[in-house]
Amino acid sequence: MDTLISGTVVTFTGNPFDIPATEAVQAHRGAAILVQDGKIAGIGARDALMRRHPDAKRVDHGEALIVPGFVDAHAHYPQTGIIASWGKRLIDWLNTYTFPEESRFSDPAYATRIAETYLDLLLANGTTTVTSFCTIHPASVDALFTAAEARGMRIVAGKTCMDRDTAPTYLRDTAQSAYDDSKALIDRWHGKGRATYAITPRFSPTSTPAQLDALGKLWAEHPTCLMQTHLSEQTDEIEWTKGLYPSARDYLDTYEQFGLVREGALFGHAIHLEPREIAHLQAMDCSLIHCPTSNTFIGSGLFDMGARTRESLRVGLATDTGGGSSFSMLRTMAAAYEVGQLTHTALHPAHLLWLATFGSANALHLQDRIGSIAVGMEADLTVIDLASTPAIAQRSARATDIWEAVFPTIMMGDDRAIAATYVMGERVAPAGAA
């Protein structure tokens, strides 16, 4: 059956970092989206579309903003239970909180429970696609893809690989088992329904050169997969990495030597980059994933969005939970705004909405399917109430244009602002809504 979903519909005509932001991103009051077979089949004035499709089911969201479903381009679903753990910087945080929790995913039942909890949290927060690390256990990947399939969600995930003695013994694979297990998971999941597999070395410090080499070969054999890892998150991590790879020119080179730097590579954080690294990332059309709540929470540093977008790098936005402190992409946009202020780039609400949707989808090479409201795209949609709390309502009531009305929700909003989430045109959140 056809469905007409109406409200204030946000569409994109270009990249807001290339042309004026409010030209690139437009909000249309009284508009509607026609959904047929899970895809967007039309967009137009609500009244005109209703006249043309009198038999369509109608869902009117009034003045609420309808945006593409949020795309979280880097997260760790196994860290759901340790989000907001106090007082550590990256390496200590991994050893103290993260690795012990990730060891629990040797139990498939535990992995399934957390995967389901996590995806339901995402949907409640308006996030319809995530790119997630799993743990070293193949069953942790099966758990996430299975839970996503049950919810109809388009997700990207992969088995985290770690074979070096820098990782605890209880969380180590080998170069060969990482290759074999990842390959079996690719065969099982990549391209099945809405699943995309990402080959996932955790980061150079926890892999041997032999493992990075094996994963580079695996990627060459399966070139349509993505590759996700971490790059230059903290300065002491960079020094540590250089010590472990003494022949590498820089951190990026530890991946480059093994065929892991090319289009389809997703580098989380990528804060403290050297000029050679930036030039090579640009030349190879790699994606950088900005994780602002994590970078402030773990004390990593300030990603320079202004510089990276001027260099025309693909940039996605992400929560990096549980290093990040929120599952909400609204909260993540707020943190991106604050980091922007600290790096002298005032991001407009139009930039922020675009980054959380099209920008992330483009970083994942999924921009032809998700990340914008346009004919032919999959109907993953998020509906945002711009007056979800008294504090936000009193501010947005004074707004003189749509962007002034949107910005308080970006800065102060959370899951209470998510009026509805649609996956392939089906309303999936809030729980219990028709």
Report the alpha-carbon distance of residue 254 to residue 245 in Å, rounded. Answer: 7
For residues 215 to 254, the per-residue mask of contacts with Zn ion, x marking binding by CB under 5 A and - elsewhere, is ----------------------------------------
Q: Tell me how far CA of residue 327 lies from CA of 105, 115, 376, in angstroms.
A: 20, 14, 29
**What residue 294 binds from Zn ion, ligand GUN, none (CB within 5 to 8 A, per partner kind)?**
ligand GUN
Task: Note whether 320 binds ligand GUN by CB under 6 A.
Answer: yes
Nearer to ligand GUN, 98 or 257 (CB): 98
For residues 282 to 311, the per-residue mask of contacts with ligand GUN, x marking binding by CB under 6 A and - elsewhere, is ------------x---x-------------
**What residue 219 binds from Zn ion, ligand GUN, none (CB within 5 to 8 A, per partner kind)?**
none
Which residues within the stretch 157-216 sit at the binding site for ligand GUN (CB under 6 A)? 202-203
Q: Which stretch binds ligand GUN (CB under 6 A): 37-45, 90-98, 150-158, 411-419?
A: 90-98
Nearer to ligand GUN, 265 or 381 (CB): 265
Q: Output the six-digit token pair for 188.
A: 């099982």
**CA within 13 Å, CB half, 209:** 10
**Which value, in Å, is the radius of gyration of the alpha carbons in the chain?**
21
Report the alpha-carbon distance of residue 296 to residue 298 in Å, rounded. Answer: 6
The single-letter code of the amino acid at 164 is R
For residue 323, the minimal CB distance to Zn ion (Å) is: 6
Are the beta carbons of 81 and 101 closer than 8 angstroms? Answer: yes
For residues 94 to 123, the per-residue mask of contacts with ligand GUN, x marking binding by CB under 6 A and - elsewhere, is x---x-------------------------
Nearer to ligand GUN, 59 or 167 (CB): 167
Nearer to ligand GUN, 6 or 254 (CB): 254
Task: Note whether 324 binds Zn ion by CB under 5 A.
Answer: no
**What residue 359 binds from Zn ion, ligand GUN, none (CB within 5 to 8 A, per partner kind)?**
none
Nearer to Zn ion, 73 or 410 (CB): 73
List b or e across 147-175, with b for residues whose CB sees 16 or more CB atoms inside 10 angstroms.
bbeebbbbbbbbbbbbbbebbeeebbbeb
Task: Note whether 233 binds ligand GUN by CB under 6 A.
Answer: yes
The single-letter code of the amino acid at 119 is L
For residue 295, the minimal CB distance to ligand GUN (Å) is: 8
Are the beta carbons of 36 and 2 closer than 8 angstroms? Answer: yes
Per DSSP (E only), the strands in 13-123 are 25-36, 39-45, 57-68, 70-76
Report the alpha-carbon distance of residue 428 to residue 120 in Å, rounded. Answer: 9
**What residue 278 binds from Zn ion, ligand GUN, none (CB within 5 to 8 A, per partner kind)?**
none
165: nearest Cα among 227, 101, 211:
211
For residue 80, the minimal CB distance to ligand GUN (Å) is: 12
**What residue 98 binds from ligand GUN, Zn ion, none (CB within 5 to 8 A, per partner kind)?**
ligand GUN
Residues binding Zn ion: number (CB under 5 A): 2
Among the listed residues 268, 322, 324, 413, the single contact to Zn ion using CB under 5 A: 268
For residue 424, the minimal CB distance to ligand GUN (Å) is: 30
Query: What 3-state DSSP class applies to 205?
Result: helix
Task: Note whether 72 binds ligand GUN by CB under 6 A.
Answer: no
237 contact partners, CB below 8 Å, separation of at least 6 = 90, 91, 203, 205
402 contact partners, CB below 8 Å, separation of at least 6 = 8, 27, 29
Name beta bridge partners: 226: 198
**What residue 382 binds from Zn ion, ligand GUN, none (CB within 5 to 8 A, per partner kind)?**
none
Are the beta carbons of 6 and 423 closer than 8 angstroms? Answer: no
For residue 238, the minimal CB distance to Zn ion (Å) is: 15
Q: Which positions touch ligand GUN (CB under 6 A)?
A: 76, 90, 94, 98, 202-203, 230, 233, 294, 298, 320, 323
Instruction: Summarize as ranges the residues that interact with Zn ion (CB under 5 A).
Output: 268, 320
